[in-house]
């Protein structure tokens, strides 16, 4: 059995971009408007991978995290979101997926929040160099590195073509008409490569710059920019943002305003949004009190899209961790459908690929159970495990749309095209 961990967080004078500290080949990052946390370098203190099995993977990860944090000694002199013992994690969408859910504890974490910056060092208790490193502070801080040369990726049709996607939508509409389910979210994929040796931090940078109001994330080769916060838990306060109902932005101020008004008035999109809000409220209710979902959806503006959005806020009542809450919420109606079991079965039937971690929870958790989790959207999965072989790095990108009664197959396919834009533009 390995020794427990010794964790120390101290203020750190950071003038540089956080991404400069991340590993170019396999960055681990969680960023929004310049704040967030990154793993400095490639070294890790713990990695937990959970594959398909009899036990739910989130339960296995939660148990593993309880063991890690239970045996850790944490000295946190900063006490901000993201300080102390933290782990990055990315979970699969479907328990039947062949991909792994993963939880990663870096050796060094550097963060920024509200103008304050820090460094966290995580060591094994039996590390012979522990005493020498104690309270070393910025004197032994890792040095940031400049981002590598610009690169461009290639993307092309994946397992689900545009024509195949529309056929799947028509099949879903037939099932909805037969009352087999009320909503299903169907995705399609694009596959491609980026050149060998590419600095993947450039993709994170592009996404966080172009889409500053999203969570830009990178965990185990899953890189994206999600507009949808699955759940945040901090000091007993639980918040979530529900997005469902989407339309493209207009080309000018007049068409932009018309697009927003049409979305706000759309029965189809409002029904889809109501499905999603109800699923989140029902999932949070057993763990919270004083649960409040705003009276009606508002229009969330992104550079390329409008979304219907509702913010949910509650008070934690049972001590559940952010990971526990993410497990309770996933999959929401916004990324699966309703009823959940029927929607998941339909996705398995109608999507000719394994989603892996696309549309699954991605985020971080700390020793107190606080954390921030988003839904892995506007993203691509990179084969970082094979990136040291000198060959181009493979990737798969995903985008989906919610199908309800009244959906139009061509319009839903065009919606996925708009949702692909962030990752396609960033790879260009």
| Residue 228 a catalytic site member | yes
Confidence of residue 246 (pLDDT cuts 50, 70, 90): confident
For residue range 33-50, what is the model confidence (pLDDT) as tens digits? 889 999 999 999 999 999
Residue among 146, 137, 144 at smallest CA distance from 13: 137
Tell me the mean pLDDT in the region 386-399: 84
The pLDDT score that the predictor gives to residue 352 is: 97
Q: Is pLDDT of 149 > 90?
A: yes
Long-range pairs of 175-179 with CB within 8 A, sequence gap ≥ 24: 175/346, 176/403, 176/404, 176/405, 177/405
Q: Is 87 helix (H, G, I), strand (E, B) or coil?
A: strand
R_g of the chain computed on alpha carbons: 21
What's the pLDDT score for residue 137? 47
55, 95, 183, 372: the catalytic one is 183
Tokens linked to 191: 């596959």
84 and 94 Cβ atoms separated by less than 8 Å:
no
User: Which of these is catalytic: 11, 228, 272, 301?
Assistant: 228
**H-state helical runs in 145-252:** 162-177, 201-210
Q: Which residue has the higher pLDDT, 133 or 162?
A: 162
**With pLDDT > 90 as the criterion, what percentage of the chain qualifies?**
65
Cβ atoms < 10 Å from Cβ of 248: 18
Q: Could you read off the pLDDT of 45-94 as tens digits, one per residue?
A: 999 999 988 688 999 999 999 999 999 999 998 999 999 999 999 999 99
| Annotation marks residue 415 as catalytic | no
Q: What is the mean pLDDT of residues 304-308?
A: 84
Query: Which pLDDT does position 304 carry in this prediction?
Result: 79
């Amino acid at each position: 059995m390995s020794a427990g961990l010794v964790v120390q967080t101290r203020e750190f004078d950071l003038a540089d971009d956080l991404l400069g500290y991340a590993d170019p080949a396999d960055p681990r990052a969680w960023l929004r408007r310049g704040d967030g946390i990154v793993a400095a370098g490639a070294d890790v203190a713990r990695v937990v991978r959970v594959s398909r099995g009899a036990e739910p993977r989130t339960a296995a990860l939660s148990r593993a995290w309880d063991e890690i944090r239970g045996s850790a000694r944490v000295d946190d002199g900063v006490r901000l979101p993201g300080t102390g013992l933290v782990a990055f994690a990315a979970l699969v969408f479907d328990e039947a997926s062949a991909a792994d859910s993963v939880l990663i504890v870096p050796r060094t974490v550097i963060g920024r929040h509200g103008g304050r910056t820090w460094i966290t060092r995580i060591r094994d208790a039996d590390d012979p160099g522990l005493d020498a490193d104690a309270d070393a502070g910025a004197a032994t801080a890792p040095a940031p590195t400049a981002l590598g040369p610009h690169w461009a990726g290639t993307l092309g049709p994946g397992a689900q073509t545009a024509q195949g996607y529309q056929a799947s939508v028509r099949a879903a509409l037939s099932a909805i008409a037969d009352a087999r389910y009320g909503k299903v979210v169907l995705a399609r994929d694009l596959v491609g490569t980026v050149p060998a040796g590419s600095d993947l931090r450039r993709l994170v940078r592009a996404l966080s710059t172009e889409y500053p109001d999203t969570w830009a994330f990178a965990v185990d080769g899953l890189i994206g920019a999600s507009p949808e916060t699955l759940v945040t838990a901090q000091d007993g306060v639980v918040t979530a943002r529900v997005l469902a109902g989407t339309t493209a932005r207009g080309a000018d101020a007049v068409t932009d305003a018309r697009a927003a008004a049409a979305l706000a008035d759309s029965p189809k999109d409002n029904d889809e949004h109501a499905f999603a809000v109800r699923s989140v409220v029902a999932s949070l209710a057993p763990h919270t009190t004083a649960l409040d979902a705003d009276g009606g959806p508002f229009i969330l503006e992104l550079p390329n899209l409008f979304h219907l959005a509702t913010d949910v806020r509650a008070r934690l009542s049972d001590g559940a961790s952010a990971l526990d809450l993410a497990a309770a919420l996933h999959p929401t109606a916004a990324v699966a459908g309703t009823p959940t079991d029927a929607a998941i079965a339909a996705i398995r039937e109608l999507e000719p690929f394994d989603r892996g971690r696309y549309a699954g929870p991605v985020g971080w958790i700390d020793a107190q159970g606080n954390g921030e989790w988003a839904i892995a959207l506007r993203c691509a999965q990179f084969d970082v495990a094979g990136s040291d072989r000198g060959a181009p790095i493979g990737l798969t990108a995903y985008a989906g749309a919610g199908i309800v009664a009244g959906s139009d197959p061509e319009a839903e396919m065009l919606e996925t095209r708009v949702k692909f834009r962030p990752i396609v533009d960033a790879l260009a």
